[in-house]
Structure 1
């Protein structure tokens, strides 16, 4: 079953307060694709936090999520500042969501750091970028690639942890 591509765009969507947390702990090197997001921000680098936000922004289970906005909301709550949480509240539409939901797909993603010449972290501010490659997995185990995108993050250190303040998607 071909599901087509998925795009992240601003819009309204319902949210599910009881949706599951899709984050898991992982270890990876600087050039190793990350496949799930970490639970702790305390020791995470700006790159890790940006990558994890990108992964979490698309990770979901269509059997419990009302729509792609649920993943965006969870991602912003876990990795973003209050301003990003407010900006992303209810945002995220996907023309393919109905097909994904009908197929009972789970959406996972990997993140690979982008090698752009980003400025170094200083004065509690940092930038990071990652290529996010989402994949829908059907109950029969079939994997359907989805649209890859690049996430550019502006980050700020808050209480000793990096938090995402701004996001641009390309």
Structure 2
């Protein structure tokens, strides 16, 4: 997004104009593209609103990594001194902390890339973002095949509870293993 404006572009804008185009070749989640397919467990899950400023989403994540209780300073640094922010994160030892953010971790090509809503107008140019013609199959909450709870098996949008349970089990097992090694 060469025309990105931190005080105007929302998370939905970043998804439509950056994440979807950058992840289009593989039709996978942008996190998979960024990590070259490597898996990592998140240290935290981030919930967000697609209508909020993307800068504030990033600032909130960085503030959490830095142990700050609010993100105003980080927002300022994102706008005016990213190098200082990167230095602060590196010096804190938390620059490698992993966060799960659905905008990055769900394959947008499996669900929303092909359509836009009336609200999806770029705040800088005033134009609708292009839709994606990747052709990847789309799966929503009720797309067959469904599980016993009526949830689509192939949909990524309805797996938050499952994902959180899976991560909790992995961490519980890791803690249990560590405890057993110490005894």
TM-score > 0.5 by shorter chain: no
Task: Flag the structure with higher strand content.
Answer: 1
Task: Flag the structure with higher helix content.
Answer: 2
Query: TM-score scaled by structure 2?
Result: 0.23
Query: TM-score scaled by structure 1?
Result: 0.24
Q: RCO (CA 8 Å, sep 6+): is it higher in 1 or 2?
A: 1
